[in-house]
Amino acid sequence: MKKLLIYLKDYKKETVLAPLFKMLEACFELFVPLVMAAIIDNGIDNEDVSYVLKMGMVLVVLGIIGLVCSITAQFFAAKAAVGFSTQLKHSLFKHIQSLSFTEMDTLGTSTMITRMTSDVNQVQNGVNMVLRLFLRSPFIVFGAMIMAFTIDVKAALIFVVTIPLLSIVVFGIMMITMPLYKKVQAGLDKVLGKTRENLTGVRVIRAFHKEEQEIEEFEESNQTLTHMQLFVGKISALTNPVTFIIVNVATIALIYTGAVRVDNGFITQGEVVALVNYMSQILVELVKLANLIITITKALACANRIESIFEMHSSMEWAEDNESQVECKKETSESNAVANNDAETQKGAEYAVEFDHVSLTYQGAGDESLTDIDFRAKKGETIGIIGGTGSGKSSLVHLIPRFYDATKGCVRIDGKNVKEYGMEELREKIGMVMQKAVLFQGSIRDNLRWGNGDATTEEMNRALEISQAKEFVESKPGGLDAQIAQGGKNLSGGQRQRLTIARAVVRQPEILILDDSASALDYATDAKLRKAIREMDGKTTVFIVSQRTSSIQHADQIIVLEDGQVVGIGTHESLLESCEVYQEIHYSQA
């Protein structure tokens, strides 16, 4: 939690004023029993109506002042808490965006969503309650005890016994429930993950008539979460009855002691009422404190979960983050710089992408997903990548924009190791179309500008022509300004794929990667798309990942993968003669 408190630095004034006004409210509240004692002893006992009315007005004034202080404290506490959570969400979102695909795979989408929403909201509530009550409640408790000592020392000793007992109960329950609340939040992650899977895959679930099975699995996860919440709730629920029992027993003892003391003439009846009022105040405040402890416990558990995200750093180091090391390397190799520079320039001018004996093992995986991948792609070439499901096609192209780092060997772009590029510099060179077509809510124009924020209408239309999307875009009301639903749900699969291709093409990249991005297109549209890409201006190197030989048969090089290994490289004709895997794929589609 300490690491998260830096997000309160812009709200120092509010974090001071909120508890200050709550303390002022508490001070005025502590005077109320004394005023009541005065009314009983001096007003009612002497039948002095004017005194009773005068002191009654004092009670009203104390109430009004306390109300103003309370509202003011609530305003500052709410402002600080909401501002804190806003900055925390922005920082958390930015940090998540900085993580590599490896960390995102480890965390999982449902976990990140829970951290960004439920956990942050719990921490916000915790900050709000702490600013309002964390100082006020202990102040009232100990203030009431001190005020009791000013009335009668012997009667006040009951407070000395009662308050530690109550503290043991409250803090003991807190220590038990804190780890349990962590388990509850973890269970919430699982339920949220199952909910997300069902909502995103609802069409597949219905297609295979798996509704009942998914309902049963969801109910099982939800039931487990419910049992955990009930268990921790039962423990937390002990707080109120146990504290009430202790305080009521203390009140009985106080009334008995007070009666004896009044009978002996040591204190007055009004002072006994004041002592009972102070005990009642302690009861109310400790109940509040108990509820506050529960809220703080949840907030601390959630804060630790959020901190665990911040403590997770990207496994990739980019050149701009490691500039001093890069400069150091340059200085140590200065004697060879001139000769190497000429060689690298010639090499970089020839090859757009090089895989130099590259292997890849995903984090937590036992076996390699790619093994000893070695090939060269010249500038302007079209490279086809084909293989069965799970052969490593997507893993291979994900190494080019450095979504993952090779565990062995190295990947070069223009003769330069991808690890020596800055993130922005590297990604600017590449246009990537993922296997799953993802569009965002907004207009078609807005979605295309994700590829190039400065793209003109003419450039967008050209990209739409290449991707074979112009015809259906023009048929929509508004054309480029036609609205797209979240995820492109109001478009067909082929339309979504063509728009994602247009988004990549509009940035005019040096390297264009199409990761099985034409699977929903018919053969005629696919052929037109490939022809348009070949005729693109400039020397764009194109990587086409496909499971159809017809999509890559005109490629300059075709790389055939099986179980993460290259089993053939060549043209369509040469592979039909020499590569058994390619032959099997081709003839199965004939």
Give the lowest-confidence range in 304-318, 328-342, 553-567. Answer: 328-342
pLDDT value at residue 342: 47
pLDDT value at residue 64: 92
Our measurement of the distance from residue 150's CA atom to the centroid of its chain's CA atoms, rounded to an integer in Å, reads: 53
Q: Where are the beta strands (DSSP E) in 346-488?
A: 351-360, 370-378, 382-387, 408-413, 416-417, 430-433, 442-443, 483-484
pLDDT value at residue 320: 64
User: Do 255 and 278 contact (CB within 8 A), yes or no?
Assistant: no
Q: Is the pLDDT of residue 81 over 90?
A: yes
Quote the Cα angle for 305-310-315, to 5°: 120
**What domains, with CATH codes, occur in the chain?**
2-310 (1.20.1560.10), 322-429+509-588 (3.40.50.300)
Q: In this predicted model, what pLDDT tens digit does every residue of 528-566 receive, in sequence order?
A: 888 888 888 768 899 999 888 888 888 899 999 999 999
Q: Can you spell out the DSSP letters for 302-350?
A: HHHHHHHHHT---S---GGGGHHHHHHHHHHTGGGHHHHHHHHHHHHHH
pLDDT value at residue 331: 38
Q: Is the pLDDT of residue 191 over 50?
A: yes
296 or 88: which leads in pLDDT: 88
Q: Return the half-sphere exposure (C-beta side, CA atoms, 13 A cut-off) of residue 218.
A: 14
User: Do 274 and 33 contact (CB within 8 A), yes or no?
Assistant: yes
At position 410, the amino acid (one-letter code) is: C
User: Do 438 and 486 contact (CB within 8 A), yes or no?
Assistant: no
Q: In this predicted model, what pLDDT tens digit does every residue of 477-523 receive, in sequence order?
A: 888 898 988 888 888 888 888 899 999 999 888 999 998 887 778 88
Q: In this predicted model, what pLDDT tens digit does every residue of 249-268 receive, in sequence order?
A: 888 888 888 888 888 888 88
pLDDT value at residue 538: 67
Give just the sign of the alpha carbon dihedral 188, 193, 194, 198.
Answer: positive
Q: In this predicted model, what pLDDT tens digit does every residue of 54-67 receive, in sequence order?
A: 888 988 998 899 89
Q: Can you spell out the DSSP letters for 413-430?
A: ETTEEGGGS-HHHHHHTE
Q: Is the pLDDT of residue 450 over 50?
A: yes
Put the strands of the sheet holding 416-417 in their side by side order.
Answer: 370-378, 351-360, 408-413, 416-417
CA dihedral 283, 285, 289, 292 (to 10 degrees): 130
The closest of 365, 165, 331 to 253, measured between CA atoms, is 165
Cα distances (angstroms) measured from residue 94 to each of 315, 320, 561: 16, 17, 36
Radius of gyration of the chain (CA): 35
Single pTM value for the model: 0.70
Confidence band of 166 (pLDDT split at 50, 70, 90): confident
341 or 32: which leads in pLDDT: 32
CA dihedral 109, 114, 115, 118 (to 10 degrees): 160
Confidence band of 324 (pLDDT split at 50, 70, 90): very low
Round to whole Å and give the CA distance between 78 and 86: 12
Share of the chain above pLDDT 70, in %: 94
Backbone phi, then psi, for 514, in 5-degree steps?
Answer: -110, 100
The closest of 58, 115, 50 to 88, measured between CA atoms, is 115
Cα distances (angstroms) measured from residue 84 to each of 5, 198, 273: 8, 33, 43
At position 373, the amino acid (one-letter code) is: I
Round to whole Å and give the CA distance between 38 and 48: 11
88 or 184: which leads in pLDDT: 88
User: Do 495 and 525 contact (CB within 8 A), yes or no?
Assistant: no
Q: Is the pLDDT of residue 333 over 60?
A: no
Round to whole Å and give the CA distance between 518 and 552: 11
